[in-house]
Structure 1
Amino acid sequence: MDKQAWHALPPDDTLTRLGSQAAGLDTHTAQERHLTHGANRLPAPPKRSPVIRFLLQFHNILIYVLLAAAAVTALLDHWVDTSVIVAVVLVNAIIGFLQEGKAEQAMAAIRQMLAPQAAVLRDGKRTTIAGEMLVPGDIVLLEAGDKVPADLRLLQAYGLQVQEAILTGESVPVDKQVESVPADAALGDRTNLAFSGTTVTSGQAQGVVVAIGGHTEIGRISGLLAGVETLTTPLVEQMSVFAKWLTLFILTVAALILAFGYFVQHQEFAELFMAVVGLSVAAIPEGLPAVLTITLAVGVQAMAKRNAIVRRLPAIETIGAVSVICTDKTGTLTRNEMLVASVITVGQAYSVDGEGYSPQGNIEPQPKEAATVTEIGLAALLCNDAELKQHADTWQVEGDPMEGALLAFAAKTGHHHRSDWTRTDVIPFDSRHKFMASLHHNHTQHAHIIVKGAPEVLLAMCQQQRSADGQAQALDSAYWQQQAETIAARGQRVLAFASRTVPPHHTVLDMTDVQEHLTLLGLVGLIDPPRPEAVAAIAECHRAGIRVKMITGDHAATAAAIGQQVGLQYPDKVLTGGELDLLNDAELASAVLDHDVFARTTPEHKLRLVTALQAHGLIVAMTGDGVNDAPALKRADAGIAMGNKGSAAAKEAAELVLADDNFASIVAAVREGRTVYDNIKKVISWTLPTSTGEAAVIVLALLLGMLLPITPLQILWVNMITAATLGLALAFEPTESNTMQRPPRPRDQPILSGGLLWHIVLVTTLFLCGVFAIYAYALDQGYSLELARTLVLNTLVVMEIFHLFFIRNLYSTSLTWQAVRGTKMVWLAVVVVIVAQAAITYLPALQAVFGTQAVGLADGLLVLGMGVVLFVLVELEKQIRLHL
């Protein structure tokens, strides 16, 4: 049957055609179908061939200039110079080619890590599997926030709305139902289908998979959606533009010098032209964009190792500048391992012990009137969508952790199975009404509505309460409010349970059914202890000048207790959602700085809080997991979605996804973001001064009309060997020890600051002094021109090496053993450069090519001393600047 006609079949016929049933497929059948139908994923987008990717590395104005220079030198029969220029171009292309390959692998790995999960029925039990393992006939469970993992024919739907803009362009969510629709219905009118890639905005549903992978509706248009994310950021683009303008400036200067030397000084054109080529190659930072992008790619991988998956690369720059982190509480600051710790009935408080989600544990004191506690346990079991499963020695939850804790509590009251009761309808939990209600029938023709939710909401819905002897009596609202506050003050989340008996023929649940005639059964308090690593991470944030604000839907007293435990600066100052609603934007902007805990909030409040913080010029990171968190995540400077409990909608809106939902991973991401930014500054701060230093040597010599202290071929060699090694090593620099002890950088801080420009001038001046000093010394000693130039060549390389060791520590002294010890990448680059320099200095074959001569030990030490002098002078300047 054509997949487009599934919507015309009744649900039972659909299951029959697919060889499935309401309880789902068995594992064996699912495995067989997976082998037959393949993985549920869209065909991979077409990739460019390696040859095309390699050739595209030459598509750059900087490379065009070098290739033109190579062509001219070849016409002048300067074949050695031509070979070196081509070698420079090839080295740069190879670096870019390898970097792009690694970047594509990193992005592919990230896409794999973000592959959606699907809740399905297998062997009659709820389980979670990777979305790509779905097969036709699988029964999929949907709830608000999920991304639909395949094309589904809906079997059950409870208030289900799906955002289908990705397929239909309709911005309003579509109401879904299970009845058949005409076979010729348009795509947007197939209201009994849920399409792969769309997002559930509210409600719950069950559906059977009718199409997977490329056979889905989104698969038909996957060619339009298969764009590959480009590994670039505003900073890289900014530096590319800067390099282009710098190239044009250098070419203009080169042309003027060429004209001056030829027409005014009457120098030989071929020799003059080669000098100008050397000047251009030395001054053009052709490898800078590639090295910057490599630095970002290294940052992506480093963050992934810290469980922070970067979805949009500009976030790497942003996360390092964050000055405020707005975080959820549950699972982020806490363990997300809920445990029912207390139960309150009329006139009696009980404590419950246990570990994790294990159903073993005791209730103390032993209930004298067991009926009410047992009834709460039954309510906790039935008004519940989770499943508890035992893996080895641990119990794990399939579903909401709070509901898992309620199942464990129910087992402690003697209720282990739901088989005696059939759920006939449900009102799913929604943040707007803050309760869940379910309707159940048993085999003895009894029917009950069970409601669980926020105490203040249920108290308004109840007229009676269950007494200690199991009888109904008038509700004492003041008593329950006091008990709820007492539990919350201990840092526990409070839930209320209520019930109502209805006639057996009552099978449909409506909102009007729960707005009156409910009887309050009692309260339960659940604890979710803070993560020890989150406490340490918050302390680290405070040292780094980063404010941490907790935004939670919990009771104000609960939020304050957790805020106190994790070490927030103002844990006792709590603003509730109701109080936020009373503040206008100006009042909120003033209050937001004086409060670190926001309780009883809705996702809409998060958006207002982000906006209020940004009004102060702060760079805000915001965590979120729900569908309604998407606006706040997009508004934040760095949106961070939860990888485990987060909805697909939240992940789509976020720049980062936490694989472990742990606040410590956010702080690790901030640390890595600062490290990446520091390394980018180091790359730029090393590349630009050394490039201008090399170029200045040639410019000054040409303007003075003197013999060049270094030949164009030698300057080409220096540029090739150092840019491909020393500059690249800085991309792998580790985090500096004081990285998280510095305040966040300002939002508008430029990468090319006045300090960097001063450093370029200083280093260029020192390069000129060092080069001409060693050149003058060599001529004064009566050395040959070849030996003098060899000394200058090695002096340039040695000064660039010592400049590398200086630039590795931007914010602290470089005169420590740890700074001198360096890293494996730094020493690998230095060893490569030293070996290469020794080769062209001492090997006769290379001496003939590069016009070099062997350097004696004394002169070698003198060259080394020039590097030491450079290091000492720039280090002294840094210390003076840091202590001003």
Structure 2
Amino acid sequence: MTSKTLSKWSSSNMGMACTHAISGFGYGVALACGRNTEAGSMTALSFKERSPSRWEKHQKQISYYLLLVAAVCFLLLCCTTGFEHGQTLYEVNLSLLLGLTPLYLPFILYWGLRRTKVDMRRKQCHVRNLRGTSTLGLSTVIVSDLVGTMTKRRMRVSEIFVDMALLSVDNLGVSAQSPRFIELIQASVLCNDAVICPGNIGVPKMQKDMYGNILDIALLKFGLIILPNIDLLRQDHEKVANKHYTSEDKVQVTVHRTRDADGQLKLILLMKGHCDVVIRRCSTFAIRDEELPLDEQLQEIILSLADGLLEAGRHVRAFAYKELSDELEFRRFSQVNTGLEGGEYKYRDYLAVDTYSLRFLGMIATYNPPRSTIPKAMDRCRAAGIKLIVVTQRKPKMAKALALDVGILPAASDPFQAPTKRMPYVADVVDMSVYADEKPQHQRRHIEHLLLNHRDLVCAGTSTDQLHWIADACRRLGAVVSVIGGTLHDTPAMRSSHVGVARYGCAVMCEASADLILLDSSFATLVSVVGDSRLLFENLKKALAYCLATNTCNLLVYCSFFLLGIPLHIHIMDELILAILVNLVPALTLIYEPPEENLMQQMPKVYDDFLLNSRLFFVSHILVGTIEAAAVFMTYFVFMADKGFLPRTLLDLHIAWNDDMLDDITDSFGQEWSSEARQQLECQVSSICLMAITAMQCTNLVLTKTGRANLLAHGFRNWRLLLAVLYLILICVLLCIMDSTVCLRLEGTNELHFGHFLWTNWPFMVLLVLLESTRRYFLRLFPDSWLELVTMY
């Protein structure tokens, strides 16, 4: 092997023989072994540990919160150990532990992820990993390929070069009937691996299903329009040898057996490939009825025309023709199919064919049109503060043309100029092949400089290693990276990213490494589901703010029991009802809340990525929780005063209240209360306190719909939340009718009246509405003020 480059994979001069000995022994030269091979390096990179996801970060936050709650409750339990009536004290501590423990949190998170997965599926994005639905919304960099994700992957023939004339497919006219034109189209159909799938009888020509690569399919469909019968043409020109197109030699060669005008058998060789490769193997060029020598001047003209088509974003394929007149070749290919139907020996002798001294037929240019949704998706991506890096193996000129087509580069600007204030989102085209000869550490340094110095990037001529280094550099610089891939070579970069996104129909290894799969292979679909992921994060915080509001009431009830001695505590069964029926079930409806503002016009909240933050605790525990606790205490004191216990009488009464041996406890008016009567009164207190919390949570549920927007302007499109409001009202009504869960063994304990309860609680409901509405009004009036820094969670 001789090479001018440092990479063995970039060498153009390499000779390989048989790679294994069938019997006996053999000699060989090992170019690389193990991880030094391309397959070895890709395997090592593909099995690296994935980057931590957003879900894991949230799990740590929740774990810290649970440890803090457990530590506080254990400390309080230790402090209260040794008091009289230990059973009651243990029950109060256990009730506090259940009240502060977020039993609802795993269900809310799972339900939110599942709901977002369903929404993404409706938008043609299949979720393989639920954690990816949360991490995607935090993406600050998207690394995408150019061809396939931003184009339709459905080529069509656009221009044809024949008879030294460049013809547009839209204006063929009489030129389509010329013999040279027909000969070129026949060559494009015969030297073609695409086939029409069975079961297309009676289907219109342009709607027939075909199997093959997109370029061969485009040539075959165009041949269906021009030629009268493709099946008959292929039958008359039986293919006896085929060398498939590869990226190394960039040509496809086929040999066909047919008959001339006299009925004699003859063999023809057809070649299709890159123009510069094909034209070096040609010696003549057919123009109309004469065959001219293909001199250097004519070659330069054709190559310059091909370069112009490449700069316009066209895929150009040149075609050449030759008749095989050698007697040895004729005898060899005439016996190719004798007794060997199919199998590896059908096309066994194509390497022995002389593929030089061909006749140049012409060129066919195909166009891969961009998806119509890509320009709008680009604008949304840039408005959302997401850096876009587009990678492709195409040459810089063609990458530039494709980037212009899909809208990455503005049509009226030079992509090689630096961004200006007038056009701040101009991307830059970078030829990554100029760094291919440098050492890996130098290439990484260049990549980091490019990422820091450019807003968006279009990387042309990108190798597998460079794609992985781009994703790794973005991650090391602190970005949250999402990588779109579809081939085995994209797998290392997808493994290095936070979110791996695969196109539909990709390689098996690529699909196994992906978190999301784009069923329509469109970049616009990924940008669309980024908004769904961001909405999930916002709604999760709303649900948590709603649920955590009851913690203040639990804490104050606990403090009043131990510090003031008031005989008030929330029973364990009531805590479970509060956590599951009052908090969990209505909170799930907040997951379906539509966005109150355009989330795709906000910067990614990388430095504020906390489900449980100080602002959320302040709003839920201080602003809302204090009012809810005041409503509960007011309801309790009013109800107890109505039964004869004024507030001063309740102080330091908690020990005696729970003593079953005492039957002579007197209220404020001298009336004695027995142990059974106190139990009945305690059941009524338990019910009315639970009603008060439920009523305040019903008000809080409606207010939590928005974080900044006006409720009336935001609307009530979430019908699930309206059902949850009716559900909470129904719970309050049932608590007036039914006995408390802790008093089912008693009779006649419930003497509550809904009107009396509502008269006690409505001032606090109004106060909560006024306070939260005023806070939202000032948030809208003074954005980025201290109020937003303190209360906007």
Does the pair score TM above 0.5? yes
SS of the residue 1:733 aligns to: coil
Structure of higher RCO (CA pairs closer than 8 Å, 6+ residues apart): 2
1:366 aligns with 2:185: no
- Corresponding residue of 1:30: none
Q: Which of 325, 332, 339 lines up with 2:156 in the alignment?
A: 339
Q: Which of 384, 405, 416 lines up with 2:230 in the alignment?
A: 416
Report the CA distance between 1:384 and its aligned residue: 1.8
Q: Which of 473, 477, 481 lines up with 2:294 in the alignment?
A: 473
1:799–1:637 Cα change, 3 Å: same
- Corresponding residue of 1:635: 496
Report the CA distance between 1:257 and its aligned residue: 5.4
Report the CA distance between 1:681 and its aligned residue: 2.8
Report the CA distance between 1:608 and its aligned residue: 3.6
- Corresponding residue of 1:585: 444
Q: Give yes or no for contact 2:503–2:517 (8 Å, CA) kept in 1.
A: yes
1:883 aligns with 2:784: yes
1:405 aligns with 2:218: yes
1:512–1:576 Cα change, 3 Å: farther
Q: Give yes or no for contact 1:488–1:558 (8 Å, CA) kept in 2.
A: yes
Q: Which is higher, the Rg of structure 1 or of structure 2? A: 2
Q: Give yes or no for contact 1:257–1:703 (8 Å, CA) kept in 2.
A: no
- Corresponding residue of 1:733: 593
SS of the residue 1:883 aligns to: coil
1:709–1:626 Cα change, 3 Å: closer
SS of the residue 1:446 aligns to: strand
Report the CA distance between 1:737 and its aligned residue: 3.8
Report the CA distance between 1:272 and its aligned residue: 2.9
Distance 1:402 1:306 in 2: 28
SS of the residue 1:532 aligns to: coil
- Corresponding residue of 2:431: 576
Q: Give yes or no for contact 1:686–1:803 (8 Å, CA) kept in 2.
A: yes
Report the CA distance between 1:252 and its aligned residue: 0.2
SS of the residue 1:430 aligns to: coil
Q: Which of 151, 167, 171 lines up with 1:350 in the alignment?
A: 167
Distance 1:636 1:511 in 2: 43
Report the CA distance between 1:725 and its aligned residue: 1.1
- Corresponding residue of 2:557: 697
Q: What amino acid does structure 2 have at the position aligned with 1:816?
A: L
1:522–1:330 Cα change, 3 Å: same
Q: Give yes or no for contact 2:628–2:764 (8 Å, CA) kept in 1.
A: no
Distance 2:603 2:110 in 1: 26
Q: Which of 611, 633, 639 lines up with 1:751 in the alignment?
A: 611
Deviations 1:552-575 (A, max 9, x none): 344544443443343325673423
Q: Give yes or no for contact 2:254–2:270 (8 Å, CA) kept in 1.
A: yes
- Corresponding residue of 2:761: 863
1:596 aligns with 2:457: yes
Q: Which of 177, 187, 192 lines up with 1:379 in the alignment?
A: 187
1:687–1:653 Cα change, 3 Å: same
Distance 2:395 2:79 in 1: 74
Q: What amino acid does structure 1 have at the position aligned with 2:93?
A: V
Q: Which of 376, 382, 385 lines up with 1:542 in the alignment?
A: 382
Q: Give yes or no for contact 2:634–2:760 (8 Å, CA) kept in 1.
A: no
Which is worse superposed, 342-351 or 549-558?
549-558
- Corresponding residue of 2:728: 833
Report the CA distance between 1:838 and its aligned residue: 0.9
1:605–1:845 Cα change, 3 Å: closer
Q: Give yes or no for contact 2:125–2:526 (8 Å, CA) kept in 1.
A: yes
Percent identity, aligned pairs only, is 21
SS of the residue 1:732 aligns to: coil
Q: Which of 449, 453, 456 lines up with 2:273 in the alignment?
A: 453
SS of the residue 1:725 aligns to: helix
Report the CA distance between 1:871 and its aligned residue: 4.3
Q: What amino acid does structure 2 have at the position aligned with 1:834?
A: I
Q: Give yes or no for contact 2:547–2:584 (8 Å, CA) kept in 1.
A: no
Distance 1:616 1:333 in 2: 26
Q: Give yes or no for contact 1:495–1:525 (8 Å, CA) kept in 2.
A: yes
1:807 aligns with 2:717: no
1:435–1:610 Cα change, 3 Å: farther
Q: Give yes or no for contact 2:535–2:595 (8 Å, CA) kept in 1.
A: yes
1:580–1:351 Cα change, 3 Å: farther
Report the CA distance between 1:647 and its aligned residue: 2.7
Distance 1:412 1:470 in 2: 27
Deviations 1:253-285 (A, max 9, x none): 4513542xx52xx4x334333322322221121
1:332–1:290 Cα change, 3 Å: same
Distance 1:459 1:652 in 2: 42
Report the CA distance between 1:340 and its aligned residue: 0.3
1:488–1:747 Cα change, 3 Å: farther
Which is worse superposed, 512-521 or 384-393?
512-521
| Count of residue pairs the alignment pairs up | 647
1:712–1:618 Cα change, 3 Å: closer
TM-score (norm: length of structure 1): 0.65
- Corresponding residue of 2:105: 288
- Corresponding residue of 2:63: 241
Deviations 1:774-805 (A, max 9, x none): 44455566777666665533232223233333
1:493 aligns with 2:333: no
Deviations 1:562-610 (A, max 9, x none): 4334332567342335345367322233234355333444545433433
The Cα RMSD (Å) is 3.8
Q: Which of 302, 311, 323 lines up with 2:140 in the alignment?
A: 323
- Corresponding residue of 2:338: none
Distance 1:482 1:419 in 2: 37
Deviations 1:515-545 (A, max 9, x none): 8545543222212322222332222222222
Report the CA distance between 1:422 and its aligned residue: 3.0
Report the CA distance between 1:349 and its aligned residue: 0.9
Report the CA distance between 1:308 and its aligned residue: 0.8
Deviations 1:356-408 (A, max 9, x none): xxxxxx7345257x343223212211222222354745233322222111002
SS of the residue 2:224 aligns to: helix
Q: What amino acid does structure 2 have at the position aligned with 1:379?
A: A
Q: Give yes or no for contact 2:70–2:97 (8 Å, CA) kept in 1.
A: no
Deviations 1:422-468 (A, max 9, x none): 33343333344444333333355433443333334445555654444
SS of the residue 1:286 aligns to: coil
Distance 1:453 1:493 in 2: 10
Q: What amino acid does structure 2 have at the position aligned with 1:493?
A: H
Report the CA distance between 1:309 and its aligned residue: 1.0
- Corresponding residue of 1:88: none
Q: Give yes or no for contact 1:709–1:775 (8 Å, CA) kept in 2.
A: no
Distance 1:710 1:596 in 2: 60
Deviations 1:91-113 (A, max 9, x none): xxxxxxxxxxxxxxxxxxxxxxx
- Equivalent residues in 2 for 1:190-205 (5 A)? none
1:794–1:274 Cα change, 3 Å: same
Distance 2:642 2:783 in 1: 41
- Corresponding residue of 2:118: 301
Which is worse superposed, 464-473 or 373-382?
464-473
Q: Give yes or no for contact 2:77–2:90 (8 Å, CA) kept in 1.
A: no
Distance 2:455 2:270 in 1: 41
Deviations 1:279-324 (A, max 9, x none): 2221121232132122212222221221111122221122111222
TM-score (norm: length of structure 2): 0.72
1:562–1:770 Cα change, 3 Å: farther
